[in-house]
């Protein structure tokens, strides 16, 4: 495959519901406000359009507080989509909600037959798809996902997520085909092998969930040292507010499904 893994022309997002204030979180740092999440989401959609992608906006789902985080119930690639089985009980049925859209947009849509896997645990690089085991993604789900990925012609590997970290991608993101942005705790586990690694400055760990889209890197605006590091390294940084979604353990990758469609 010659296309860079960060080249996208299509994304799907879902508007936040008012129930987003009840989103899942590991530790209570206060609830986000609906208005605050909505403003962060609106700015994200605008930044995505500026980055050159076509945005499909799905309607809010009041019954599912975390459904704004469309990255978790599915995976999408140029070659097809995979409907996952989220590891949090309150999120399982988000899959049925997104399935019709994916069936409309993709010729090939596979179902994860067993186990549990969240899209937040999946990092797609040019060479392979990394699947992090976590409290949301178990070994059965990871193995089933590897079989689905093989059907789509994608190589994959199963790796570990640091203890206590929600998702694999909570702690890392792809900056380009050779470079990963990672927390020190994840990088130290050695999972990134030959990649050039840029380590998040101590105290800014949530900044690791950044998002490279075409020529820009979206980064949480609460993390000035990470922004400076990426800027000095020559990346085109677009800071975006993530303060409210951060209260429910989310970052920038969580709010979209991204792929390069040959039909656009």
Choose the stretch contacting ligand CIR; rule: CB under 6 A; options: 47-55, 154-162, 184-192, 249-257: 249-257
Give residues with Cβ within 8 angstroms of 58, minimum separation 6: 12, 13, 14, 15, 70, 98, 101
Query: Which is closer to ligand CIR, CB of 92 or CB of 152?
Result: 92
Among 8, 44, 64, 69, binds ligand CIR (CB under 6 A): 69
175-234: contacts with ligand CIR (CB under 6 A): none
Q: Where are the alpha helices (DSSP H) in the chain?
A: 34-50, 94-105, 139-151, 184-187, 224-232, 243-246
Give residues with Cβ within 8 angstroms of 198, minimum separation 6: 175, 179, 180, 181, 182, 229, 230, 233
Told to check if 88 binds ligand CIR by CB under 6 A, we report: yes
Query: Which is closer to ligand CIR, CB of 25 or CB of 93?
Result: 25
Choose the stretch contacting ligand CIR; rule: CB under 6 A; options: 43-51, 66-74, 143-151, 214-222: 66-74
CB atoms within 10 A of CB 45: 17
Whole-number Å distance between alpha carbons of 33 and 248: 11
Told to check if 248 binds ligand CIR by CB under 6 A, we report: yes
Size (the chain), residues: 264
Told to check if 66 binds ligand CIR by CB under 6 A, we report: yes
Query: Which is closer to ligand CIR, CB of 135 or CB of 233?
Result: 135
Tell me which residues are annotated as active site: 167, 254
Shortest gap between Cβ of 90 and ligand CIR (angstroms)?
Answer: 8
| 58 labeled part of a ligand binding site | no
Among 61, 198, 227, 254, binds ligand CIR (CB under 6 A): 254
- Residue 54 structure tokens: 């076509």
| 72 labeled part of a ligand binding site | yes
CB atoms within 10 A of CB 188: 11
Q: What are phi and psi of 137, to 5 degrees?
A: -120, 115
Which residue is it, tokens 């969930």? 209
- Residues forming contacts to ligand CIR in the complex (CB under 6 A) are 23-25, 66, 69, 71-72, 88, 91, 120, 167, 169-170, 248-250, 253-254
Binding-site residue positions for substrate: 24, 66, 71-72, 91, 136, 248
């Amino acid at each position: 495959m010659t296309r860079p893994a960060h080249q996208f022309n299509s994304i799907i997002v879902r508007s936040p519901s008012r129930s987003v204030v009840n989103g899942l979180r590991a530790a209570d740092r206060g609830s986000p406000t609906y208005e605050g999440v909505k403003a962060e989401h609106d700015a994200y959609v605008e930044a995505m359009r500026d980055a050159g992608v076509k945005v499909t906006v799905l309607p809010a789902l009041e019954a599912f507080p975390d459904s704004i985080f469309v990255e978790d119930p599915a995976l999408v690639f140029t070659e097809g989509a995979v409907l996952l089985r989220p590891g949090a009980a309150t999120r399982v049925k988000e899959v049925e909600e997104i399935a019709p859209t994916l069936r409309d947009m993709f010729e090939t849509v596979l179902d994860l037959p067993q186990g549990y896997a969240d899209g937040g645990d999946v990092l797609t690089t040019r060479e392979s798809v990394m699947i992090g085991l976590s409290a949301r993604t178990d070994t059965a789900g990871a193995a089933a996902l590897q079989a689905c990925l093989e059907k789509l012609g994608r190589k994959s590997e199963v790796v570990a997520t640091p203890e206590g970290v929600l998702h694999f991608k909570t702690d890392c993101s792809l900056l380009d085909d050779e470079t990963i942005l990672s927390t020190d705790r994840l990088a130290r586990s050695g999972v990134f092998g030959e990649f050039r690694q840029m380590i998040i400055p101590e105290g800014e760990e949530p900044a690791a969930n950044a998002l490279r889209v075409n020529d820009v890197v979206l980064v949480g605006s609460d993390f000035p040292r990470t922004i400076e590091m990426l800027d000095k390294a020559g990346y085109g940084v677009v800071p975006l507010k993530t303060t409210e979604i951060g209260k429910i353990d989310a970052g920038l990758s969580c709010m979209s499904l991204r792929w390069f469609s040959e039909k656009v």
